[in-house]
A and B are shown apart, each in its own frame.
Chain A
Amino acid sequence: MSRLRTVPNRSGSSRRLRGVLAATALLASLASSAFASANIVIINLDGPGEGFNDATPAAPVGGNPGTTIGQQRLNCFTQAASIWGSILTSPVTIQIQAAFNPLTCTATSAVLGSAGPRFVETGAAGLEFNNYWYHEALACKQAGVDLTPLGDPGLPPGDNGSDINAQFNSNLGNAGCLTGSGWYYGFDHNEGALIDLLAVLLHEFGHGLGFSTTTSGTTGNYFGSPALPAVFDKFLFDETQGLRWDQNTPAQRVASAINTGNLVWNGQITNAQGPLFLSHTPQLLVPFGSGSLAGGNASFGGALTLGGLTAQAILAVDGTAPVNDGCEVITNGAQLSGKIAVIDRGTCTFVIKVKNAQNAGAVGCILVNNVAGGFSASGSDPTITIPVLTLSQADGTSLKTAIAGGPTTVTMRLHPTQIAGLSAGGHVRMFAPNPFQNGSSVSHFDVTATPNLLMEPAINPDLTSSIDLTDAVFRDIGWLPRLLSTPGGGASTRVALANAPNPASRATDIVFTLAADERIELSIYDLSGRTVRSLAKGTFTAGPNTVHWDGTDASGHPVAPGIYLARLKGTHTLATHNVVWMN
């Protein structure tokens, strides 16, 4: 629920400005739900008829009830603020001043917008760590007072002392400005060819609230006078150096910023949550070369397991050129039955290929890229039950060469120790490409993470409104209590997730206790991160709740023995629990 409201004083009492702003409806704020633990207000800086006040009629879309462009924009902002506000806690209102303005763009590229902290603080009473720079909103939370109150003599004339500045492109989608690819204002992330404003806002607000360093990645120098590390640096850790960014030298930080795979986040909560949230990488064991090939994920099909599926690999033939793309009925079914089909990418969807292989009797399917590099296969068909794995073009070629040379037995499985997005040391990797990508390096999660994360530098369309591992990072830097998960994997401060019996064989009850009514989603995932079964979706009441799982997947088939993840996700809840399934 979002509503217009006045701006309370950030330390609790009202401001003189309050009445004026309320009367002119200049301010919108997030909803005050039972859980709202940080109040985030959006200060609308647009003038009449523009930006947030654009009166152009619009049809409600994707859960956004606005009936004008301006309303829909403001609703997106309040929705993003509501999501962050329901997760963070602060006794001080967080203010985001925002506007839509024409920003730089061409027909094919554009500046979408920007957001960032307006101030950083050090030395204020109440800050957890001395001699670190804190983003303003976090500093105010920890200090318990508004450190930039209206009228502060240190502020420029007219400055409202807000914590975050946000400015977004009002021309997007118009002629000459990424023509036709404008904003999508829905809340359901069903943006199609448009730009998902809510996802962009969630990401950029994340930076403004604390997910960034003020330390230069190009010189390694700390920011400001006094030159101090950011509190973010306290958790940036170089596994090669064995040093954090608040411990190493400028030269070491420069080297660390391009130490791909070895610049990591080393915080107590993220270290605990990373392995639970991220997925094991697929792997193909082969009787040649080094003995294994790195695989890619598919979003459909049966689950890969740590134990794996072992069978002979056979190149599928469909009789229509190109004959190995599996887009038509497989013609070598007799040869393929009980074996693992190898199919080339191209012509038709992955789902069609795998379904054809399954219909021909294959027990597994390997999809081989038709261009350089790896890929992840998406699609949906609950009738596909055989496991699927993808290979790069080079690895696929070597596999096909082996098959041509004689019977080749392979094992499709999950890598026992390798988790996508984790370093060799078991930490969540930060983005540290070489060469340094000024502006993107360091202050993002690494792009290797699977599932994709909100705070990666390249935003992927499969994101939802979940802030995923950013929740853990924000606990580490002091936004939220540093409470570790309960034994067995419960991951939230507000909810304990468990199941009984565990291990289970015929059925199990998944139990969680909510502090208040909340809309949640409970799903079962395999260790590769794929959804096995969506168990519950809707509003659950405060107190203990029980959801029964009969051990079947979305197609109603019994799941294979192994470890599964029960994941409970709400706007302010993220809990994961291991469920062991036995025969």
Chain B
Amino acid sequence: MHLRQLVLGAGLAVIAAGTARACPDHSAKTAVSAARRPASATALLAWKPRAWAPVATNAMQVSIDPVDGAYGMPAADETPQVVVPAEEQPVAVTRRADGSVRAQLDERFADFAVVTLGADGKPRWTCVQGSGQAAKFMRAPAPASTPAPGTVWEEK
């Protein structure tokens, strides 16, 4: 069972990487390249920041029988119930012929400046990473990180 789960996990990782969104379509390189150029200023004007790429949260799952090596659907109790942190969900990856790799980040990896009014009515802003943390802040606004005592200058 242990080996089976390990193989399952490895398989999941490979599949997740392989099916990550926006993999390069090398077969259409030239045509796509030309088509991707903004056709006009109007097109660009209408182009707001692209929504960060959605996260691929599902992937095909396979199981390899530890006895005969046959592929099959995993049994119910073999399906890993792993909660993967948002920052570890797959991202789009481009592997180049020279062996270099580019990963496309999304809003999970952006740094968000968030602000709330302090007891004195003055805005206090702080920095959190990822849209999830920004949303969490907005649900319960409070300075995510309080300056150490004595590091905020006060006049009275």
Task: Return 20 A-B CB contacts under 8 Å, by A number.
Answer: A20-B41, A45-B47, A47-B45, A106-B138, A106-B141, A109-B138, A109-B141, A116-B110, A117-B105, A119-B105, A123-B100, A157-B35, A219-B85, A224-B93, A225-B13, A226-B101, A374-B150, A458-B124, A458-B125, A458-B145
| Chain B nearest CB, measured from A59 CB (Å) | 22
Q: Is the CB of B49 within 8 A of A165?
A: yes
Q: Is the CB of A111 within 8 A of B134?
A: yes
Closest residue on chain A to residue B107 by CB atoms: A114
Q: Is the CB of A449 within 8 A of B112?
A: no
| Chain B nearest CB, measured from A556 CB (Å) | 25
In the complex, which residues 22-62 of chain B have their Cβ closer than 8 Å to any Cβ of chain A? 22-26, 28-29, 32-38, 40-41, 44-50, 52-53
Main secondary structure of the interface of A (DSSP, over half): loop
Q: Is the CB of B107 within 8 A of A193?
A: no
Which one of B63-71, B72-80, B113-121 contacts A? B113-121
Q: Is the CB of A457 within 8 A of B123?
A: no
Contacts of B122 in A (CB 8 A): 193
Contacts of A120 in B (CB 8 A): 102-103, 105
B2 at the interface (CB under 8 A from A): no
Q: How many residues of B contact A (CB 8 A)?
A: 87
| Chain A nearest CB, measured from B105 CB (Å) | 6
Contacts of B153 in A (CB 8 A): 299, 376-378, 460-462
Contacts of B155 in A (CB 8 A): 349-351, 377-379
Q: How far is the CA of A97 from the CA of B98 in the complex (A)?
A: 28
Report which of A20, A152, A154, A167 forms a contact with B40, defined as CB distance below 8 A: A20
| Chain B nearest CB, measured from A422 CB (Å) | 13
A150 at the interface (CB under 8 A from B): yes
| Chain B nearest CB, measured from A162 CB (Å) | 10
A23 at the interface (CB under 8 A from B): yes
Report which of A109, A152, A221, A297 forms a contact with B150, defined as CB distance below 8 A: A297
Q: How far is the CA of A376 from the CA of B155 in the complex (A)?
A: 8
Q: How far is the CA of A459 from the CA of B26 in the complex (A)?
A: 45
Interface size class of A (residues with CB under 8 A): 35 or more
Given contacts A121-B103, A375-B150, 18 further A-B contacts (CB under 8 A): A47-B46, A99-B48, A113-B112, A151-B33, A193-B121, A200-B125, A214-B87, A225-B103, A296-B150, A346-B156, A375-B152, A390-B150, A439-B112, A440-B126, A444-B127, A447-B148, A448-B151, A457-B126
Q: Is the CB of B127 within 8 A of A203?
A: yes
Instruction: Please name the 5 residue pairs, one residue from A and one from B, whose CB atoms are nearest each other, closest first.
Output: A116-B110, A439-B128, A154-B94, A439-B133, A109-B141
Closest residue on chain A to residue B141 by CB atoms: A109
Q: Is the CB of B113 within 8 A of A113?
A: yes
Q: Is the CB of B144 within 8 A of A439?
A: yes
Q: How far is the CA of A20 from the CA of B42 in the complex (A)?
A: 10
Contacts of A345 in B (CB 8 A): 156
| Chain B nearest CB, measured from A136 CB (Å) | 8
A486 at the interface (CB under 8 A from B): no
Binding site for B on A (CB under 8 A): 16-17, 20-21, 23-24, 26, 45-48, 97-99, 101, 104-106, 108-125, 133, 136, 147-148, 150-160, 165, 167, 178, 181, 193-195, 200, 203-204, 207-208, 212, 214, 216, 218-219, 221, 223-226, 296-297, 299, 345-351, 373-379, 390, 392, 420, 431, 433, 437-440, 443-444, 446-450, 452, 456-462
Contacts of B130 in A (CB 8 A): 438-439
Contacts of A374 in B (CB 8 A): 149-150
| Chain A nearest CB, measured from B51 CB (Å) | 10
Q: How far is the CA of A425 from the CA of B123 in the complex (A)?
A: 35
Report which of A114, A299, A460 forms a contact with B110, defined as CB distance below 8 A: A114
B17 at the interface (CB under 8 A from A): yes
Contacts of B107 in A (CB 8 A): 114, 116
Q: A26-B44, A48-B45, A153-B24 are in contact. Are A460 and B147 (CB under 8 A)?
A: yes
Contacts of A348 in B (CB 8 A): 156
Report which of A17, A99, A225, A456 forms a contact with B38, defined as CB distance below 8 A: A17
Q: Is the CB of B134 within 8 A of A114?
A: yes
Q: Is the CB of B146 within 8 A of A447?
A: yes
Contacts of B33 in A (CB 8 A): 151-153
Contacts of A346 in B (CB 8 A): 156
Q: How far is the CA of A106 from the CA of B115 in the complex (A)?
A: 10
Contacts of A167 in B (CB 8 A): 49
Chain B CB within 10 Å — which of A97, A160, A297, A457 has the most? A457
Q: Is the CB of B37 within 8 A of A16?
A: yes
Q: How far is the CA of A449 from the CA of B126 in the complex (A)?
A: 16
| Chain B nearest CB, measured from A326 CB (Å) | 12
